[in-house]
Structure 1
Amino acid sequence: MLDERDRKILDMLQRDATIAVSDLAERVALSVSACSRRIQRLEEAGYIERRIVVLNREKIGLPTTVYALVKTAHHTDEWTEEFRRAIGDIAEIVEAHRLTGHYDYILKIVLPRVEHYDVVYRRLVRRLELFDVTASISMETMKAGSAVPVDYAV
């Protein structure tokens, strides 16, 4: 069971995983050793999956985001696993979700420029038979981030 301090620790770490344990401990009113033990417990319990660095996409030459909506006529477990492998092999596909509704999947693709989408598209359709792919170019990121609310954590 998580308490309010655990939730604060989770919230602060997901916003800045580089925060010093001493700073974090001070902000949640704990000793450094107690805070460190809580972090370790949260990691062992699976609340913290991993710690990552978020890169500046402009600086590394990937300013363009394309969302591809994919429809397939295949829904077998084997096809789904092959789709998983195919998208896993394409580094530009940074996120993928299986959907309800008209389309089966949505892919978030990061690119150096919009013209590079064709390269990614061709790599994907060489490996899989797709019924329909519709792509939309993101014109502006209005909200981005990976932080999730911690209020629901139990």
Structure 2
Amino acid sequence: MDDLDLIDRKIVAALMRDATQPVAQIADQVGLSQTPCWKRIQKLESAGVLTGRVALADPGKLGFGLTVFIGIEAPDHSAEWRETFAKATDSFPEIMEVYRMAGEMDYLLRVSVPDMTFFDALYKRLTDAVPIRNLTSHFAMERMKYSTAYPVDTRNR
């Protein structure tokens, strides 16, 4: 499903804004009746365009007041190290995102923890779990913009 038509893009955009909307409401927004809209949603899910539906939560209200971005330099780039690193990062629920990067750092992690004490414990557990050449931490002071919705083009092309 490489090229989504206008209706599919509108459906995806509507679901990214609010996945709790009833299908009938989404159908109205995109100009379809309920059954064809539901079939398109199922098709988008089976094609992997829609990968899940979740509730978004405020990290501060859940006790995760500290967001840290960690830059990692790998000691080597072997398949064995990458596998060990992937298993290690998967085992830490505080590590919310992991990206393999191009440039000065090899990996970028987004971590959510309650405070500096928890971060220090995570740091120690992570560096004990996998060899790392260099680890640089950047502490977020304020989240100024956050979105999970991609800017899908919902205009007719």
SS in 2 for 1:59: helix
SS in 2 for 1:100: coil
For normalisation by structure 1, the TM-score amounts to 0.93
Is 52-61 or 78-87 further displaced after alignment? 52-61
Paired position in structure 2 for 1:90:
92
Paired position in structure 2 for 1:54:
56
Paired position in structure 2 for 1:11:
13
Identical columns (%) = 38
Is 69-78 or 79-88 further displaced after alignment? 69-78
- What residue ranges of structure 2 are gaps of 5+ in the alignment? none
CA-CA distance at 1:2 after TM superposition? 2.1
Deviations 1:91-116 (A, max 9, x none): 10000111111111111000111232
Matched letter for residue 104 of structure 2: H
Structure 2: distance between partners of 1:8 and 1:63: 34
1:70 to 72, 92, 95: 72
Matched letter for residue 151 of structure 1: D
Deviations 1:21-56 (A, max 9, x none): 111111111111111111111111221111111112
Which residues of 2 match residues 1-150 of structure 1 at below 5 A?
A: 1-150=3-152
For normalisation by structure 2, the TM-score amounts to 0.92
SS in 1 for 2:16: helix
Deviations 1:68-123 (A, max 9, x none): 11112121001101100000000100001111111111110001112321111011
Structure 2: distance between partners of 1:151 and 1:82: 39
- What residue ranges of structure 1 are gaps of 5+ in the alignment? none
SS in 2 for 1:54: coil
Matched letter for residue 110 of structure 2: K
